[in-house]
Structure 1
Amino acid sequence: MELRHFRYFVAVAECMSFTGAAARLYVSQPTLSQQIRGLERELGVQLFDRQPDGARLTVAGSVFYERAQRILGEVDSAVADTRRAAPHLSELRIGVAGPLPDSIHFPVISSFTAAFPQVRIRCRELVIPEYEQPLLAGDVDVAFLRSPLDFDRVVGQPIVGDEPCVIATPHGHPFWDVDSVDVADFLEQPLVNYSPRISRRARLHWQLSGERNGAAPRFVGDPAATNAEITLSAGLNKVVIAGPATLGHGLAVSRFRVVELRGGPTCTTYVVRRRDDTRMMPATFCDFAHRIATELPSAHERPGFDHLSAADR
């Protein structure tokens, strides 16, 4: 029996619903149901009467609920007292290079603020072309960033992996009417002329330089650095933009559509800190973010989807 079993049990008891408790805990309904049934097997008693309209505590469940509340209260008090004894835990500056897959930063930061209420959180959007520079310059303490990254200078823990590559296609381009494109066809296309202000590592990655056998792509238009400049250049010059799958979420121009790039590179979203940063809080946040992201259900299992029979809701 672990501490999380107590928290899962109390959440279901207070919500009187597996659905509500799953949303509150940021876990999937099947995971929550499995954990509660495992707890019942370990205790040798039934804790809930499962009904179509929710879950109610049994007599044994009510006894366990009182004890569980007391235990969790003592644990929370111990944690709070310990953290109050460490005055250096006061502020954390978080950089976010969005849009991120599944808006992963929301549950991570929300969970962190709940666990560390005495730490003031300050968030900053990291845009092209600055990207990882605010982190390296010390303007933010940690950041949510996608690969490719300079791992000689940053330490990263993955939180979302294998995000596929897509291409944003302007209206009037030959790819506008197709659902997917092979890498070989993409390599024949002219590209937006990315400004050297953008990280060379990122430029080479999304130009698929590794697939070109040393040949340079053909660029059109003036150098573009910001999201707005890149989008405008692509639209005016009728060229495509390669990027992660969530590229479409941040594309505010209606006359673009996102097309799958078959065989394209994938990228991973990391929570990162500077490699030379020896402070405890950035490392604590990165460890915490990695754990929360690992425990989150996949997108198709997020709360709000129907995965259980009525008996487990």
Structure 2
Amino acid sequence: MELRHLRYFVAVAEEKSFNKAAERLFISQPPLSRQIRQLEEEIGVTLIDRDNRPLKLTEAGEFFYDHALQIIKKSDDLRAMTFRKGSFDNSLSIGFVSSILYGILPKVIARFREVYPNIEIKLYELNSWQQTQGLVDGKIDVGFGRLLFEDASIRRMVLREESLIVAVPINHALVKENRTSINLMDLTNENLLLYPTAPRPSFIDYVLELFEARNLKANYLTEVRELHIALGLVAAGEGLTIVPKTLEHLRSQEVSYIPFEDGHLTSPIVMSIRHFDKSELLKTLLDVTYQIYDEEGFDYKREKI
């Protein structure tokens, strides 16, 4: 069984016609029919009920179709990732979520440039889910995000946990009360401005899971497109939002930032790379990140590539 046999079968299954599948594959119909018949003989079962019009898959054919799609996708992903690896020595493409750009990422990139001044660095603002797709498609080589997703082709390393804080309008009652800390229960009846709306899952879902884990519910929430809009609406007195601590300098004349009481509400900073990628560029990027963590006095757990 070869990969082309799977592609032929998938085309027939989706077109429900040998003629249409042959047109899609740019081959003639008789050879296509022979290839599918040989595939069925090799497997030992009938995959397509040819008595139906349009053609219909047998139960075994449905099973084979689902798995053939997965194999073809993995093959295409491998091709894209290998192609990207071939051009890896001349450039480094980095995906990031906007909140991390306000942290130490600029320092990491600047330090990395000192080590590799001739490497072209390309930056892409992508949420954590988009970074997964970007790594598989070969668009990026490494991603810095805040959500964890399961994908067999991607390795995720939690670099550290960053404290979350609440952004509050400067004239809000919580500020007037001189509150030095807050808890999630205090926010259940506040208008929470959560971001980003798309693509999902996003940081919105992470925040809502924090409430659910404590048997709490955010009774009033507004989903907004991005972080900057959320902070702008907070400054206008339209609500509160939850952000990582590294953002506490933004709009400081209009927004106050209050930490959570227990200090355990955090957001992970996740570095994602392709599994088994042992590039020296990635190793240097990770080493530089830890150097800056040490200089900044951050707690973290060291990983290795």
Question: Normalising TM by the smaller chain, what interval?
Answer: 0.5 to 0.7
How many Å separate the matches in 2 of 1:234 and 1:134? 28
Aligned residue in 2 for 1:230: 230
Please state whether the residue corresponding to 2:151 is helix, strand or coil: coil
- In the TM superposition, residue 220 of structure 1 has moved relative to its aligned partner by 4.3
1:293 paired with 2:294, answer: no
How many Å separate the matches in 2 of 1:255 and 1:88? 44
Q: Which consecutive residues of structure 2, in runs of 5 or more, have no partner in the other structure?
A: 1-85, 299-305
Please state whether the residue corresponding to 1:199 is helix, strand or coil: coil
- In the TM superposition, residue 94 of structure 1 has moved relative to its aligned partner by 1.3
- In the TM superposition, residue 268 of structure 1 has moved relative to its aligned partner by 2.6
How many Å separate the matches in 1 of 2:110 and 2:196? 35
Relative distance call for 1:117 and 1:87 in structure 2 (3 A) is farther
- In the TM superposition, residue 241 of structure 1 has moved relative to its aligned partner by 0.7
How many Å separate the matches in 2 of 1:103 and 1:195? 18
- In the TM superposition, residue 195 of structure 1 has moved relative to its aligned partner by 5.9
Confirm or deny: 8 A CA contact 1:157 1:290 kept in the other structure.
no
Confirm or deny: 8 A CA contact 1:162 1:267 kept in the other structure.
yes
- In the TM superposition, residue 201 of structure 1 has moved relative to its aligned partner by 4.8
Confirm or deny: 8 A CA contact 1:192 1:239 kept in the other structure.
yes
- In the TM superposition, residue 112 of structure 1 has moved relative to its aligned partner by 3.0
Relative distance call for 1:101 and 1:117 in structure 2 (3 A) is closer
Residue 242 of structure 2 aligns to which amino acid in structure 1? A
Coordinate RMSD, CA, aligned: 3.3
Aligned residue in 1 for 2:145: 145
Confirm or deny: 8 A CA contact 1:169 1:239 kept in the other structure.
yes
Please state whether the residue corresponding to 1:184 is helix, strand or coil: helix
How many Å separate the matches in 2 of 1:102 and 1:299? 14
How many Å separate the matches in 2 of 1:134 and 1:100? 13
How many Å separate the matches in 2 of 1:102 and 1:193? 18
Confirm or deny: 8 A CA contact 2:191 2:239 kept in the other structure.
yes
Relative distance call for 1:102 and 1:224 in structure 2 (3 A) is closer
- In the TM superposition, residue 237 of structure 1 has moved relative to its aligned partner by 5.7
Report 1 or 2 for greater relative contact order, CA contacts < 8 Å, sequence distance ≥ 6: 1
Listed one character per residue, the Cα deviations across residues 16-75 of structure 1 (whole Å, up to 9, x for unaligned) are: xxxxxxxxxxxxxxxxxxxxxxxxxxxxxxxxxxxxxxxxxxxxxxxxxxxxxxxxxxxx
Residue 204 of structure 2 aligns to which amino acid in structure 1? R
- Which stretch of the first structure deviates more once superposed, 110-119 or 254-263? 110-119
Instruction: Normalising by structure 2, report the TM-score.
Output: 0.55
Confirm or deny: 8 A CA contact 1:93 1:141 kept in the other structure.
yes
Aligned residue in 2 for 1:162: 161
Residue 261 of structure 2 aligns to which amino acid in structure 1? R
- In the TM superposition, residue 192 of structure 1 has moved relative to its aligned partner by 2.0
How many Å separate the matches in 1 of 2:187 and 2:119? 46
Relative distance call for 1:197 and 1:107 in structure 2 (3 A) is closer
How many Å separate the matches in 2 of 1:194 and 1:87? 35
Relative distance call for 1:262 and 1:107 in structure 2 (3 A) is same
Relative distance call for 1:255 and 1:143 in structure 2 (3 A) is same
Aligned residue in 2 for 1:211: 213
How many Å separate the matches in 1 of 2:225 and 2:148? 18
How many Å separate the matches in 2 of 1:102 and 1:194? 16
How many Å separate the matches in 1 of 2:196 and 2:104? 29
1:246 paired with 2:246, answer: yes
- In the TM superposition, residue 252 of structure 1 has moved relative to its aligned partner by 3.2
1:272 paired with 2:269, answer: no
How many Å separate the matches in 2 of 1:291 and 1:194? 31
1:257 paired with 2:253, answer: no
Q: How does 1:45-194 map to 2 (within 5 A)?
A: 89-100=89-100, 103-126=103-126, 130-137=127-134, 138=137, 139-146=139-146, 148-152=147-151, 154-159=154-159, 161-177=160-176, 178-192=179-193, 194=195
Relative distance call for 1:99 and 1:225 in structure 2 (3 A) is closer
Please state whether the residue corresponding to 1:110 is helix, strand or coil: helix
Relative distance call for 1:105 and 1:88 in structure 2 (3 A) is closer
Residue 183 of structure 1 aligns to which amino acid in structure 2? L
How many Å separate the matches in 2 of 1:106 and 1:195? 22
How many Å separate the matches in 2 of 1:209 and 1:142? 30
Confirm or deny: 8 A CA contact 1:142 1:272 kept in the other structure.
yes
Q: Which consecutive residues of structure 1, in runs of 5 or more, have no partner in the other structure?
A: 1-85, 302-313
Instruction: Normalising by structure 1, report the TM-score.
Output: 0.54
Residue 209 of structure 1 aligns to which amino acid in structure 2? F
